Amino acid sequence: MSTSLSLPAPLRLRTARDAAEQAQQLAQDIAGLMREALAARGHASLRLSGGRSPVAFFKLLSLEALDWSRVTIGLVDDRWVADTHADSNARLLREHLLQNAAAGAKFVPLVNAAATPEQGLDEARALQRRELPDCDVLVLGLGEDGHTASLFPDAVETPAAMRADNTAFVAAVRPTRAPHARISLTLPAVLAARQLLLPVQGPVKRAVLQRALSAPPSELPVAAVLYGGTPLTVYDCD
């Protein structure tokens, strides 16, 4: 690895030679955490982020041998598009994770039939609280602008969604420099997970994360996750 991250305690760091090794690490670690949750509570819950880079570990995770019938899977955020749309995170999970052994898991989407995320918020909040009220493992993403989940620094809705006293669970977000209106977990909902995992690939994302260690969350929202108090492991590779 050309340049390694330097993370303060208690943040944990796992490094990999390349994206393929990182995908294996993520799939194996998530499966292990799911098994621990199943043994401790009889049920396991997992929330995932979209994008291109998770596809490899989604496919590997779908092959892991565990009791998927007792696993509930949800999303951290999604674009407010039909679940058949190419940009839908729900579609991404259906095609690459909810296959093979993982086809037996229960999936709880964020997007519903309402025309806009604002119109669908009440239904989305009720569904999430009923079907996926807590989370054992939550896998975040990281944008080059420092956003995580759909907490974009340029969106007017982000400051309210990041307030520590926000009990709404999910929020509508309309970034100005990214396509589609979004629905996203609020920062308190993200930080309520038992374990956070954050994969980072390449020097650009690594530099963003390094900057976030000393930047205010209003500038780089991922900074709020780094210092949010929830156990967090960063997975880094070139």
Report the predicted TM-score, pTM, of the whole model to 2 decimal places.
Answer: 0.97
**3 pLDDT band (50/70/90 cuts)?**
low
In CATH, what number is assigned to the domain containing residue 65?
3.40.50.1360
What is the pLDDT at residue 1?
A: 52
Element containing residue 15 per DSSP (H, E): strand 12-16
Considering the domain boundaries, does residue 91 fall inside one?
yes
What is the mean pLDDT of the segment spanning 124-153? 97
**Residue at 3 is within a domain:** no
Of 4-8, 69-73, 205-209, the range with the lowest mean pLDDT is 4-8
Amino acid code (one letter) for 30: I
* Mean of pLDDT values over 104-133: 98
- Confidence band of 52 (pLDDT split at 50, 70, 90): confident
**Considering the domain boundaries, does residue 215 fall inside one?**
yes
Average pLDDT of the chain is 96
In the predicted structure, residue 87 carries a pLDDT above the cut 80: yes
Confidence of residue 4 (pLDDT cuts 50, 70, 90): confident
Mean pLDDT confidence for 151-158: 98
Res. 5: pLDDT tops 90: no
Does residue 117 have a pLDDT over 90?
Answer: yes
Tell me, yes or no, whether 128 lies in a domain. yes
Among 131, 224, 124, which Cα is nearest to 182's? 124
CB 164 within 8 Å of CB 192: no
Q: Is the pLDDT of residue 219 over 90?
A: yes
Mean pLDDT of 153-160: 98
In this structure, is residue 190 part of a structural domain? Answer: yes
Q: Does some domain include residue 2?
A: no
Q: Which percentage of the chain shows pLDDT scores above 90?
A: 96
Q: Confirm whether 226 is domain-assigned.
A: yes
Domain count, the chain: 1
Question: How far, in Å, CA of 234 to CA of 171, rounded?
Answer: 25
- For the beta sheet containing 106-108, the strands, ordered from the edge strand earlier in sequence to the opposite edge, are 12-16, 232-237, 195-201, 137-139, 44-48, 71-75, 106-108
Domain ranges, residue 228: 16-237
Using 50, 70 and 90 to split pLDDT, how confident is the model at 51?
A: confident
Residue of 221 and 9 predicted with greater confidence: 221
Q: What is the mean pLDDT of residues 143-151?
A: 97
